[in-house]
Structure 1
Amino acid sequence: MNGSKPKLVFISPVFLFPNDAGGKIRSTNILRGLKGGAFHVTLLSAATPEQARRWSKEIAGVCDEFVPWQPAPHRPMWRRAFDLLGSLPVNVANDRTRPGMDAVRKLAQRPDIDLMVFDFVHSAVLRPAVLRARSTCFTHNVEAEIFARHAQQARGPHRRWLWSSQHAKMAQFEGDALRSFDSVIAVSERDARFFKDAYQVAESYAIPTGVDLDFFSYQDPPAVDAATPPTVVFTGSMDWAANIDGIQFFLGQVWPAVLAARPEARFVIVGRNPPASLQALARSTSNVEFTGFVDDVRTYVHKAHAFVIPLLVGGGTRIKAFEAMAMGCPVVSTAIGIEGLEAEKDVHYLERDDPSAMADAVLRLLADGALRDGLARRARQLVEERFGHEKAARVFEDICLRTLALPAAAQAA
């Protein structure tokens, strides 16, 4: 350990700004909470000079030192298809770039570095064979579980084979990678137990899902009136397969029943890069709007009467659920959409998996102001008491300090 504070390096294979995905939001909030605490924090990530200049203020707010590497050129889909033949899962292979590997190796050789935090298990592909410093992996999901769920939901034997093949590769990679770290930090107790039981990870810990309670300020749900017609909202990156599957499910099996009862209802989907196929599906129904990327989701959520999380596939925890609860928008979710979050159904949110039951729950929220207000206020109280991002950062910091204090035998294991 060197100097007055131990030095922590946080390695992100993607540039964290803008915060347009759940993983970026979570990592940014953790870093923001770590800065000024027990560690001197270095952020090491892919970033172009233009990104570093444009987001310099935000970068300075999350670290004491920023070390970028040049991102690899975008690879067309036809070239990425060849990764299907390799031993690595396709999303891991995409993160294995020479500039990234060189940057991690160079920093890892510095004698003053005490702890290296690899963000997402994918970033383990950048790790050198030997590390001087202690190491931990910050896992946002059980990645193999996501592939397994895609295989279960896939239509047709070829798609099932593809997802099953990727699941097998990810299970092998994920287990091997996580066992190579001194500790693993999960985003739920469920995931932490899985890593211990399935992968024999000895030091596996969980942090709470944190939300910025000041930024995502509370407002009572709006009344349904001429100025604010009944509105349902979803937020999330629309280039992520799980979100695409979930919105296909909602548009195809839930939304028609909502419209049949409330033809004036609106569904607003807030998120970057919606695929053409999903936009075509939306055009085949009524009152559906894709916003694309927006700088601030709060305006859209505060104008809505229900926030839906219709996910059939996923892993880790969905930070969007607590953001909606913090803002006062009542949540309707599938079990997978709310998985890993310590909230009580029918008290803090409505949980429905069956399409007709989900439609009924949405319609209840559109019709019943007292139900909206009750769910919203109880949910906000829950996140205030237990899930502020500062608390999550303090737990994260404590795990990092415990990792530094592990006996030498545990480090060598």
Structure 2
Amino acid sequence: MNGDILFLAHRLPYPPDRGDKIRSHHILRRLARIAPVHVATFADSDTDWAHEPQLAEIAKTHCLVPRTKPLWRAGVEALWAGEPVSLAAFRDVRLAEYVRQTIANERIGMIYIYSGQMGQYLPPDFDGTVLVDLVDVDSAKFDAYGQRGRSPRAWIDAREGRLLRVEEERLAHHADRTFFVSEAETDLFRARLARPVGVHAVALRNGIDAAFFDPDESRGRPAGFEGAGPHLVFTGQMDYAPNIAAAERLMARLMPKLRRRYPDAQSHIVGRNPPSSLMQFDGRDGCRIWGEVPDVRPYVASADIVVVPLEIARGVQNKVLEAMAMARPVLLTEGAATGIGGEDGVHYIIANSDDEIVQRACACIDDPVRRRGIGRAARQFVIDSLGWEAVLAPLAALVEKSSKRSESRDAA
């Protein structure tokens, strides 16, 4: 391609320790092999700032600004402007000025927008290639929240879904390519378009670092996994609403049924920022809330089963890929399995209702040979199909194809 790349991300792609940052981290590294990259992004914490030197190593220039706007202020701004709260929350004049100056002073041939919140920084007169990575259909997620929730939150979520849907379609019409994490998300997005003509939406899958998530590299059980078990583990960012709901489902609805059959059964919730609604379960009925841990691998490796009872799931779940790479049997809902590939009963186990989850968990617990077989098959599937190098191999070709399409469009 001609020129440099401007990469806009709603969160610093370092450290790659949560789903959205894992994907952006690997995409940024792959883009940097294609052309020099300039990065505009936000820091959420002191931990992020500690990783700014790593960003400086890979980026030709960068702008890292703190995201300090409180949610209430973003909400007021969004209501006043008639826009999604997601956009107001990620609006910053310093980042906008960096984008303006970089386009003016550098030879930018392509802008890669990672996450719909960053589309607001795309200049309407930019004449280079535009790639938009929406990852998953956020508007559909908020639609689901609005349908399941209670007022006034249900009204807020329904509004967010409605306005985000408009913004997602606006960006797709500006983009040479719009990426989603799976074919299912891509099909869902196409089905929701009011004006599908002119939108080029394609799947760009998530991968996994199978060398890092290697069960042979994670020895020893963390203190707290004592007892006969079985030990059920759920991991994720615990201030994310679908994860909170899944963890509550595991502890409040599934564990009582499992403990009637296995009195020593324990559930382990592993992930940063658990709210008080989860912390109230800690120490009760075999439930343990770990919060943030320095390395999630020993906890996953110590699981008899990794349980992912998500009722609302968008995109590909990194927590599932990590557990599969660690050769753990994963019991998950159909939604959480979307976009992964593989086969139910071979690479993982699918169950949706509470009773079905309990039934299939018991069958798995009672058959250790089958558990090990599913774990081995899961890891081999990940190694063969889902390494980052393999899943991002099409990116260079897509960049080149989009660049040629953009040049042809400009010539016309």
TM value normalised by structure 2: 0.89
Corresponding residue SS for 1:10:
strand
User: 1:103-142 residue pairs with structure 2 within 5 A?
Assistant: 103-142=98-137
Specify whether residues 157 and 226 from structure 1 end up closer, same or farther in structure 2 by C-alpha distance, changes over 3 A only: closer
Corresponding residue SS for 2:245:
helix
Identity of aligned residues (%): 26
Q: Is 1:206 aligned to residue 203 of structure 2?
A: yes
Q: Is 1:12 aligned to residue 6 of structure 2?
A: no
Q: CA deviation at 1:297?
A: 0.8
Q: CA deviation at 1:362?
A: 2.2
Q: CA deviation at 1:175?
A: 1.2
Q: CA deviation at 1:350?
A: 0.7
User: 2:233, 2:306 within 8 Å by CA — same for their partners in 1?
Assistant: yes
Q: CA deviation at 1:239?
A: 0.8
For residues 92-121 of structure 1, give each alpha carbon's deviation from its aligned partner in whole angstroms, at most 9, with x where no partner exists. 220122122222222222351111101111
Q: Is 1:163 aligned to residue 157 of structure 2?
A: yes
The partner residue of 2:85 within 69, 90, 115 is 90
When the two chains are superposed, the root-mean-square deviation of aligned CA atoms in Å is 2.8
Partner of 1:172: 166
Q: Tell me, in whole angstroms, the C-alpha distance in 2 between the residues paired with 1:25 and 1:287.
A: 31
Q: Tell me, in whole angstroms, the C-alpha distance in 1 between the residues paired with 2:60 and 2:43.
A: 14
Q: Tell me, in whole angstroms, the C-alpha distance in 2 between the residues paired with 1:9 and 1:279.
A: 41
Q: CA deviation at 1:234?
A: 1.1
Range 19-28 or range 201-210, more displaced: 201-210
Range 323-332 or range 14-23, more displaced: 14-23
- Structure 2: unaligned runs, 5 residues or longer: none
Partner of 2:389: 390
Specify whether residues 355 and 51 from structure 1 end up closer, same or farther in structure 2 by C-alpha distance, changes over 3 A only: closer
User: 1:3-402 residue pairs with structure 2 within 5 A?
Assistant: 6-35=3-32, 37-47=33-43, 54-56=50-52, 58-59=54-55, 63-75=58-70, 77-83=71-77, 85=79, 86-154=81-149, 156-199=150-193, 200=196, 202-219=199-216, 229-280=229-280, 282-283=281-282, 285-402=284-401
* One-letter code aligned to 2:94: P
Question: Which structure's relative contact order is higher, taking Cα pairs within 8 Å and 6+ residues apart?
Answer: 1
Q: CA deviation at 1:32?
A: 2.8
* One-letter code aligned to 2:248: Q
For residues 20-74 of structure 1, give each alpha carbon's deviation from its aligned partner in whole angstroms, at most 9, with x where no partner exists. 3201011112223344x3322333222499767622564366x242402322424
Q: CA deviation at 1:410?
A: 4.4
Q: CA deviation at 1:404?
A: 0.8
User: 2:311, 2:335 within 8 Å by CA — same for their partners in 1?
Assistant: yes
Corresponding residue SS for 1:24:
helix
* One-letter code aligned to 1:168: R
For residues 95-152 of structure 1, give each alpha carbon's deviation from its aligned partner in whole angstroms, at most 9, with x where no partner exists. 1221222222222223511111011111102222221421111121111110122123
Specify whether residues 240 and 198 from structure 1 end up closer, same or farther in structure 2 by C-alpha distance, changes over 3 A only: same
* One-letter code aligned to 2:35: F
Specify whether residues 209 and 265 from structure 1 end up closer, same or farther in structure 2 by C-alpha distance, changes over 3 A only: same
Q: Tell me, in whole angstroms, the C-alpha distance in 2 between the residues paired with 1:396 and 1:263.
A: 50
For residues 197-217 of structure 1, give each alpha carbon's deviation from its aligned partner in whole angstroms, at most 9, with x where no partner exists. 433253222122210111111
Corresponding residue SS for 1:250:
helix
Specify whether residues 194 and 105 from structure 1 end up closer, same or farther in structure 2 by C-alpha distance, changes over 3 A only: farther
Q: Tell me, in whole angstroms, the C-alpha distance in 2 between the residues paired with 1:48 and 1:258.
A: 38
User: 2:278, 2:289 within 8 Å by CA — same for their partners in 1?
Assistant: no
Q: CA deviation at 1:323?
A: 1.2
Specify whether residues 221 and 32 from structure 1 end up closer, same or farther in structure 2 by C-alpha distance, changes over 3 A only: closer
Q: Tell me, in whole angstroms, the C-alpha distance in 2 between the residues paired with 1:223 and 1:361.
A: 27
Specify whether residues 290 and 410 from structure 1 end up closer, same or farther in structure 2 by C-alpha distance, changes over 3 A only: farther
Q: Tell me, in whole angstroms, the C-alpha distance in 2 between the residues paired with 1:222 and 1:343.
A: 27
Q: CA deviation at 1:226?
A: 6.4
Specify whether residues 66 and 289 from structure 1 end up closer, same or farther in structure 2 by C-alpha distance, changes over 3 A only: farther
Q: Tell me, in whole angstroms, the C-alpha distance in 2 between the residues paired with 1:38 and 1:16.
A: 18
Q: Tell me, in whole angstroms, the C-alpha distance in 1 between the residues paired with 2:126 and 2:382.
A: 38
Corresponding residue SS for 2:253:
helix
Q: Tell me, in whole angstroms, the C-alpha distance in 1 between the residues paired with 2:226 and 2:277.
A: 32
Q: Tell me, in whole angstroms, the C-alpha distance in 2 between the residues paired with 1:197 and 1:105.
A: 34
* One-letter code aligned to 2:23: R
Q: CA deviation at 1:382?
A: 1.1
Aligned length: 405
TM value normalised by structure 1: 0.89
Specify whether residues 260 and 58 from structure 1 end up closer, same or farther in structure 2 by C-alpha distance, changes over 3 A only: farther
